[in-house]
Structure 1
Amino acid sequence: MRWWISIGMVCLAGVLAGDVATVVAAPRAQLAQQPSEKETSVDVELILAVDVSYSMDLDELAIQREGYAQALSSREFLQALKNGLHGRIAVTYFEWAASSDQKIIIPWRLIDGPESADAVAAEILKTPIRRASRTSISGAIYFAMPLFDENPYRGLRRVIDISGDGPNNNGPSPVTIARDEAVNKGITINGLPIMVKEPSYSTMDIENLDLYYRDCVTGGRGSFVVTIKSREEFKEAIRTKLLMEVAGHTPPPRFVPVADDPSKEPRVSCTIGEKIWQDRWGR
């Protein structure tokens, strides 16, 4: 089952701060196989896939970077980390734009306490900000999937965390095909749709990006969407999302569920980005 959350409706960080100690980690039996001597067991293998397309302005990109860095160093995050079955996670952070444009900023790192968390946060902040053309969520998913098999960690869960401010408009396939391939591999995709600006012709924004992410991008066991609708929500939303991913937390019942029903039509066309691009530029 998938879930959606609006930061404007509820501050989940406070809920998690009180409840995270009661989160029960996934049972050991859920591991596909025991790690080899060269592998390290972790609670989650987490890929942070961050949009740097031109529709994101420099201020938004800076706030986004700061949000991830501050979340990783926060007291709530470190408490969630401590209460995991293994007390550590593996994380990698890459930026994406077009289908051929992905750049790893943080290679796979083990975070097992304040020192390692602060080191990753500092490295995120010191990397120069960049921007690039097009928006390929499908390209980001295809880039992310093999990264799980290239790291020396074995997690109870594998999660791709995608943030972006527009629909897929470029890539080797529609975003739903890429999503389904990932979900079929046991990967969960969570979303952070950024909706801080009014839809614009020049930036290819759409009005219902949150619905697009819920129905076309996210999927897998326990997947969810956290929506950002103002600049002030950036850092809180990122912290909330990371807390849920690290703790393996299931959203409380008061959040509205979105059923994983493949026969149900998406509420927003999952190829809307490709159609807009074709209509405007004919390629």
Structure 2
Amino acid sequence: MRRRPLLASLAATPALAQGREVDALLVLAVDASGSIDADEFQLQREGYAEALSHPAVLAAIGAKPRGAVGVAMVEWGSPGGAATVVEWMRVADAAGARALAEAVLAAPRSPQSWNAIGDALEHCTRLIAAAPFRAVERVIDLSGDGPDLRSLIPAATARDAAVAAGITINALAVAAAGQVTRFGEPLAETYRREVIGGPGAFVVSAEDRRDIARALRAKLVREIA
């Protein structure tokens, strides 16, 4: 007797069915550079897991026409070294969100250094192009605690290429109040100038990694809704 695949009943699984339509494709591009120690990294992962499974985010997903989004997670840092740590998953309900949160918490940390934001954006653009889901809305959601430092591709160049491909880039600046970059401006301003792009693109700030869950939750609701 032929058995139905068990994974077919899950609301969020590694994407196997080609061409499935969702309301949005969302790549979470997370800073894993050398400036983040092990404790900060764990706080960051927990913040993402909490935000992704929050009822407000689920309500925003459920209010969309198809009631589903495709999500993948990328870690970035090293020049040319951005890595996909959670492959595409479809999220349509609480069970799917929990599965995604568990995948985020369980993924091994990738080896990274420096701050190569341009290379991260280029990696995410290719990841969206190869996604197994279809969606009109396509978003890269980049978080970081510093400006672009060592990219093989300048951040603004990679940003412009992504926008030309129909992708919106939003950013989460993790920086304490009063902190400035080497350009003498707050990190959020650097991200506005070099990183974000596309219709309605925006930057949200978090004071530190303990504030990521709150900031990311608000950001995800705004992006999805």
Scaled to the shorter chain, the TM-score interval is: 0.7 to 0.9
Asked if the contact 2:85/2:110 (under 8 Å) is kept, the reply is no
Tell me, in whole angstroms, the C-alpha distance in 2 between the residues paired with 1:106 and 1:192. Answer: 19
Match of residue 45 from structure 2: 65
Match of residue 117 from structure 2: 137
What's the CA shift for 1:199?
5.2
Alignment counterpart, residue 227 of structure 1, candidates 194, 198, 205: 205
Query: Structure 2: any 5+ residue segments left out of the alignment?
Result: 1-16
Question: RMSD of the TM alignment (CA)?
Answer: 2.2
Tell me, in whole angstroms, the C-alpha distance in 2 between the residues paired with 1:133 and 1:200. Answer: 20
Match of residue 85 from structure 1: 65
User: CA 1:230 to 1:133, structure 2 compared with 1: closer, same or farther past 3 Å?
Assistant: closer
Alignment counterpart, residue 30 of structure 2, candidates 31, 45, 50: 50
Per the normalisation by structure 2, the TM-score is 0.86
SS of the residue corresponding to residue 21 of structure 2 reads strand
What's the CA shift for 1:130?
5.1
Match of residue 186 from structure 2: 208
Asked if the contact 1:62/1:129 (under 8 Å) is kept, the reply is no
Match of residue 119 from structure 1: 99
What's the CA shift for 1:60?
2.3
Query: Structure 1: any 5+ residue segments left out of the alignment?
Result: 1-36, 248-283
- Asked if residue 181 in structure 1 is aligned to residue 157 in structure 2, the reply is no
Aligned residues: 209
SS of the residue corresponding to residue 203 of structure 2 reads strand
User: CA 1:80 to 1:199, structure 2 compared with 1: closer, same or farther past 3 Å?
Assistant: closer
Larger mean CA deviation between 235-244 and 190-199 belongs to 190-199
- Asked if residue 238 in structure 1 is aligned to residue 216 in structure 2, the reply is yes
Asked if the contact 1:63/1:235 (under 8 Å) is kept, the reply is no
What's the CA shift for 1:197?
8.0
Match of residue 149 from structure 2: 169
User: CA 1:38 to 1:230, structure 2 compared with 1: closer, same or farther past 3 Å?
Assistant: closer
Asked if the contact 2:26/2:140 (under 8 Å) is kept, the reply is yes
Match of residue 14 from structure 1: none
Tell me, in whole angstroms, the C-alpha distance in 1 between the residues paired with 2:198 and 2:213. Answer: 25
What's the CA shift for 1:205?
9.6
Residue-by-residue CA offset, 1:65-123 (whole Å, 9 max, x unaligned): 11111111111111111101110000100101112212211101111111111011011
What's the CA shift for 1:132?
2.3
Match of residue 8 from structure 2: none
Per the normalisation by structure 1, the TM-score is 0.69
User: CA 1:142 to 1:130, structure 2 compared with 1: closer, same or farther past 3 Å?
Assistant: closer
Asked if the contact 2:180/2:187 (under 8 Å) is kept, the reply is no
Tell me, in whole angstroms, the C-alpha distance in 1 between the residues paired with 2:111 and 2:72. Answer: 19
Q: Highest CA radius of gyration, 1 or 2? A: 1
SS of the residue corresponding to residue 172 of structure 2 reads strand
Tell me, in whole angstroms, the C-alpha distance in 2 between the residues paired with 1:124 and 1:101. Answer: 19
Match of residue 104 from structure 1: 84
